[in-house]
Amino acid sequence: MLRSGSQLYAEKFYDYFYNNTYEYQSKLEIIMIITIIIILLSGLFILPIIFNIYKSNNKVLSLFGIIPSQEITKLIDKCTEFKKNFLDSDKKDEKASTSSNPYLDNDLVIDNEDDTLIDQKK
């Protein structure tokens, strides 16, 4: 009697936990199937965009083949000169302290009362 009662309770516990794990397993399978579908759909959406970018990059690179090498070296020289003059941090600090920029007129000052330029040369 004691054995059959304990066996009955053990089978109930087993069935309860087996059903719970089966329910969780089915939920897990549904979630995994949904995520796989989302990944596949996003991949189908993103792949054409990636291939268009790849094509446009190839077109841009092929345009550089048209430019003569002398023009490229001139552009490189202009870029390094620009970088040297305006982008280097050491040069920025020196330019700020000495204000040797030829594009700025150092004789003009802003009047704070009505925001007009005043010429200091006068």
The predicted model gives 90-96 an average pLDDT of 56
In angstroms, rounded to a whole number, what is the distance separating the alpha carbons of residues 15 and 22? 10
The predicted model gives 7-14 an average pLDDT of 87
Per-residue model confidence as pLDDT tens digits over 29-66: 999 999 999 999 999 999 999 999 999 988 888 887 78
Strand ranges, E, within the chain: 108-111, 116-119
Mean pLDDT of the chain: 78
Predicted structure pTM score: 0.41
